[in-house]
Amino acid sequence: MATSAIYGTSDYPFSSAVVVAFMKAASAVLLLLLLFPRTSHSQSLFDGTWIIGASKDEDFAHAKPIVFLVSDGVFRYGDRVLKADGTDQKVPPTSYWDTVSVRIVDDHTVEIISKKGGKAMYAETDSVSADGNTLTQVVKDMTEAESVTLESVYKRVAPVPPNAHVLSGTWQVFKQSRSENSTVISYKCTAEGFSAWTPLGERLDAKFDDQFYMMEDDPGHTMVLVKMINPRTIEQTNKRDGKIVFVVRLEVTPDGKTIHASSKSAEDGSTHTWELHKKLN
């Protein structure tokens, strides 16, 4: 998926920075699960199809909270400041967007759309519950052959500032789910290298030679280098626009049924963890 260039967190300009970072990292991991050498001439433990699971609960507890301020027709998130009038506004360009629009839908909902060359790439809807204490954030990734959706649910940890939209305040994520079409990867590993592909069109062909390789069908043109830490652990470095965006560590269980994965942002050091489970025929 184009989401495989998941996301460094510095790329997505607003509240989805953490969400998109996880999606991109997870997809990149999916494309790099066949990096373990064979210990014999038998089939690699990693050959076959894998299904990505959800983040671990303890990971959410350590996730960095997000902070919004929507007031006087202006949307603020971090150092980003935009008019909340629904117009496309220029932002520092990345491989995924060059304009962003913010629209206040109603007293409890805000919509954010990121575009590249006029084409919608990501659509985010932030909806706050009637009691003002729960935020449901739905991010739709339209860079794929078919759209991928990630839903995150947050609890309020700081109150709404005076005279601000109810989205304003500080939020802590506690639950995530993703569309099924973004969870599948197939791969083949050899002693010389690996190939991996997803039903959505991404593909990676690489050798074990300490070189960066381009991930195909990725608008962000992510480059990937993989280093072996030990026979069951690898470290994957992901680079975009000449800058390291995140580092992923993968560890396969001795029975070959589960892969424990973690991603660390090169920008702020935040981490995410998840698992992949081998699909049985």
Residue 21 confidence (pLDDT) above 50? no
Better-scored residue on pLDDT, 34 or 169 = 169
**Mean pLDDT, rounded, of the chain:** 81
Neighbours of 250 (CB within 10 A): 23
Average pLDDT score over residue span 106-113: 98
Do residues 118 and 158 both lie within one domain?
yes
Do residues 127 and 206 both lie within one domain?
no
* CA 216/CA 226 separation, integer angstroms: 16
* CA 204/CA 35 separation, integer angstroms: 11
Do residues 18 and 91 both lie within one domain?
no
Q: How far apart are the first and last CA of the chain?
A: 24
The verdict on residue 265 lying in a domain is yes
Do residues 266 and 196 both lie within one domain?
yes
Do residues 136 and 237 both lie within one domain?
no
The verdict on residue 268 lying in a domain is yes
Better-scored residue on pLDDT, 162 or 204 = 162
Range with the lowest mean pLDDT among 75-84, 106-115, 116-125, 226-235?
A: 226-235
Average pLDDT score over residue span 141-156: 91
* CA 144/CA 218 separation, integer angstroms: 9
Tell me the pLDDT band of 10, cut-offs 50, 70 and 90.
very low
* CA 126/CA 260 separation, integer angstroms: 30
Q: Which of 130, 162, 178 is the last residue of a domain?
A: 178
pLDDT tens for 265-274 read: 888 787 888 8
Tell me the pLDDT band of 72, cut-offs 50, 70 and 90.
very high
Q: Which of 130, 156, 178 is the last residue of a domain?
A: 178
* CA 79/CA 11 separation, integer angstroms: 13
Do residues 220 and 192 both lie within one domain?
yes
Coil, strand or helix at 254? coil
C-alpha distance from residue 137 to each of 4, 9, 86, 171, 255 (Å):
20, 16, 18, 11, 36
Q: List, in sequence order, every residue forming a beta bridge with 76; answer none if it has no partner.
A: 69, 81
Residue 186's pLDDT is 76
* CA 108/CA 67 separation, integer angstroms: 16
The verdict on residue 61 lying in a domain is no
Residue 5's pLDDT is 26
What the block records as the tokens of 244 is: 């390291």
Residue 69's pLDDT is 97
Do residues 45 and 13 both lie within one domain?
yes
Tell me the pLDDT band of 79, cut-offs 50, 70 and 90.
confident
Phi, then psi, of 102 in degrees rounded to 5? -125, 130
Do residues 74 and 173 both lie within one domain?
yes
Please tell me the number of Cα atoms within 13 Å of 8 on its side-chain side.
Answer: 24
Residue 134 confidence (pLDDT) above 90? yes
Residue 19 confidence (pLDDT) above 60? no
What the block records as the tokens of 69 is: 């301020």
% the chain with pLDDT above 90: 37
Please tell me the pTM assigned to this model.
0.72
Radius of gyration of the chain (CA): 19
Residue 226 confidence (pLDDT) above 50? yes
Average pLDDT score over residue span 22-31: 48
Please tell me the number of Cα atoms within 13 Å of 79 on its side-chain side.
Answer: 4
* CA 103/CA 137 separation, integer angstroms: 15
Residue 140's pLDDT is 95
Do residues 32 and 72 both lie within one domain?
no
Do residues 28 and 74 both lie within one domain?
no
CATH of the domain at 14: 2.40.128.20
Number of domains in the chain: 2
Do residues 250 and 211 both lie within one domain?
yes
Residue 167's domain spans which residues?
A: 66-178
